[in-house]
Chains A and B, each alone.
Chain A
Amino acid sequence: MLMPSFIRDRREALVAEVARKRVLVVDDASLVRLYYRDALERAGYMVDEALNGLEALEKLLLQPADLLIVDVNMPQMDGFTFLKVLRRQELPLAGTPALVTSTECGPQDILAARRAGANFYLVKPLTQDILVEYAALLCGAAA
């Protein structure tokens, strides 16, 4: 079945808008990284990956990102420690928007994320549509 032209035009416009946006996915779970990459690349983003906060900091110092998608429980450096360290860096690096995605769903977890410097918090598991919607929102692209 052919896609109606107005939907195709809208999708193409959105892909063009995010085409140069780079997202760094920070998560130790390979399947999560693959799932996020699949959704984000189909939406037009460039995607890079880091396995923990330490690796993410190293990558960001070499190449900035437009959005961070950050897990909480990771080896070597957890997501909250990573965000706290990041927010102490100089601008514009310190201001990189961060979406925290975690299995932890208590109010204390959301508060801890906010205190660490998260811009938004979503509880796993996510659908790919929700992920892309919040990525667009935090990147400043039209959702």
Chain B
Amino acid sequence: MPLIRRTPDGVQPDRPDAGEALATLTHGTRQKRWAAARALSDAPDAAEALGRALSSEDDPHVREAILTSLLRLRSAASIQAILPHLRSDNASLRTGALDALRAMPDVAGPHLPELLRDADPDVRLLACDLARSLRVADATHLLYGLLEVEREANICAAALDVLAEIGGPEALPVLARCAERFHDHPFLAFSIKVVTERLSAQTPRHRG
């Protein structure tokens, strides 16, 4: 049985056409904005407008509908529309954007290197979480590279959390160097010890 998503107010409004949807996406009632966001899920040219609407949208249901439509478009344009929201001060929007990127690893994956090098430490931290979902072959090596140079303990901790799942024994020298740099951080020392023990116990057969 298909899942029928209800509107915020429980009423299924008429589906507007793309032109009407673009007009009401930021100016209609809550219900109309929600319907507009849903209607634009098959309008490839609407990605930019959906991204702009995310910036001003306060209603979490409408925001969810916008992100779902961007997810369904699954294009380079939808990635470009979502990426700026990783910098949002709004935790709900920030994590919603990250969830959407996680859900389309094929198009979000190529952006991982630039996100891990971003000047904003909060973006680098979220990028580590993105690496967890992408599980691309390069993700582990990008995280090893990050651990060699990253100065923020919290970002190293986020990378370690991912490497505990997807890393391999080749990470051990990187972990040892990271432990030396952060010897005065109890949480990092604890984390490196745990990850080192896990990865040391791995054999090639154990890796997925």
Contacts and interface: CB of A to CB of B under 8 A. Distances in A.
Interface of A: 28-32, 34-35, 38, 72-76, 78-81, 103-104, 106, 108-109, 112, 124-128
Contact of A78 (B91, B165, B191, B194): B91
Given A34-B194, A38-B190, A73 B94 contact: yes
B60 interface: yes
Contacts of A81: 60, 91-92
A50 to B, nearest CB: 15
Interface in B154-190: 154, 157-158, 160-161, 164-165, 185-188, 190
Contacts of B53: none
Given A125-B185, A128-B186, A31 B157 contact: yes
Contacts, number: 73
B17 interface: no
B92 A29 contact: no
Contact of B154 (A35, A80, A125, A127): A125
Nearest to B155: A103
24 contacts: A28-B129, A29-B157, A30-B161, A31-B161, A31-B164, A31-B191, A31-B195, A34-B194, A73-B125, A73-B129, A75-B95, A76-B99, A78-B91, A78-B92, A78-B94, A103-B125, A106-B89, A108-B89, A109-B89, A112-B91, A125-B153, A125-B185, A126-B187, A127-B186
Contact of B160 (A31, A72, A79, A80): A31
Contacts of A124: 154, 157, 187
Contact of B122 (A34, A75, A103): A103
Interface of B: 60, 89, 91-92, 94-95, 98-99, 102, 122, 125-126, 129, 153-154, 157-158, 160-161, 164-165, 185-188, 190-191, 194-195
Chain B interface main SS type: helix
Contact of B157 (A79, A106, A125, A128): A125
B187 A72 contact: no
Contacts of B164: 30-31
Contacts of B194: 31, 34
Contacts of B186: 125, 127-128
B141 to A, nearest CB: 20
A54 to B, nearest CB: 12
A11 to B, nearest CB: 19
Contacts of A106: 89
A78 B95 contact: yes
A79 B91 contact: yes
Contacts of A75: 95, 98-99, 102, 129
